[in-house]
Amino acid sequence: MSDDLKPTYTEKGKAFERDMDYIPDRILAGEHSADPDDATYGGRDPERDGIQVWPVEPGRYRLVAAPACPWANRSLIVRKLLGLEDVISVGLPGPTHDKRSWTFDRDPGGVDPVLGIERLQQAYFNRFPDYPKGITVPAMVDAESVAVVTNDFPWITHDFFFEWKDHHREGAPDLWPAAQREEMEEVMKRVFTEVNNGVYRCGFAGSQEAYEAAYERLWTAMDWLEERLATRRYLMGDAITEADVRLFTTLVRFDPVYHGHFKCNRNKLTEMPNLWGYARDLFQTPGFGETVDFEQIKAHYYVVHTDINPTGIIPAGPDPAVWETPHGRESLQG
């Protein structure tokens, strides 16, 4: 999801609203999804809703995911956790861009070495010449036609788990445990609406009233998470799930960006013992920390959001070394 898009305000209170209308296509292993709870494509009808189904084919697709973006960071983590590096290649746009698109400015010659394009926008226009919406990451791109397949970020990681199972590494984690599915969906919904999107609701609030309401909602959820993690190592218990991936990408950006830049400053993450220990625990787990680039994260928010930070000055801190300190969460393992 491109964080540079202009926020949409309601008429009353100028509250931030996120546009969740993405390209709905899916990459599926068979006629229907392998997810037993998703036999009808997540409640959407392919013919009615214009969904095109693409086949799972190793080497066919390129995941374009800017490390700076929390929504893209999810897909990078899940790809690594499941061991899909050899079947789904990855393109990494740089952290700063103009209003048109994410760019591959950190690749040699400023061109993605597989897709042969300078801007992700080109892959969108190859599929939809008059694409009217924001050019967002993560995006799955068909490498042969260099055309975007989907940018529907919640379904991208969902399908990495359910549809690419034949290509998972041995011992890959069960990110969607069936026995906890119902509760996990509820937890993920609250994490998304109140925390993942809650920090943006604070940062892009268009009035004092909207900001204060967003701030209260965010911290109510953060306190709920602090309490939940007092007695369990991960959000759903003893094992990492998709819910942890979704929360982590916001937590790892909290002190470097959201605390000050988005005015989420009741306290720092480092001042919440359970959440801070939990975040470090995940960071130090293979698949998480190596996808995090604090330099790119800060460059994106502080340079691209000119309305919030017109000077473009990037803060020097905090010291990322704190993420490698002992977390002590092992004692909560059942």
Residues known to be catalytic: 69, 200
Both tokens of 64, joined, read 């374009």
Residue 47 neighbours by CB under 8 Å, 6+ apart: none
Ordered alpha helix ranges (H), 57-207: 70-82, 120-127, 153-162, 181-190, 198-203
Cβ contacts of residue 78 below 8 Å, gap of 6+? Answer: 157, 160, 161, 175, 242, 245
Q: Is 224 annotated as a binding residue?
A: no
How far are the Cα atoms of 26, 56, 132 from residue 33, in angstroms, in the given order? 9, 11, 29
Could you tell me the two tokens for 59? Answer: 């080497």
Tokens representing 124? 């969108």
Q: Classify residue 107 by its DSSP letter.
A: S
Q: Is 276 left (phi over 0), alpha (psi -120 to 50) or beta?
A: alpha
The values of phi and psi at residue 87, to 5°, are -115, -20
**Both tokens assigned to 126:** 């190859």
The interaxial angle of helices 242-253 and 273-283, nearest 10 deg, is 110
Q: Which residues are annotated as a binding site for glutathione?
A: 102
Binding site as annotated, residues: 102
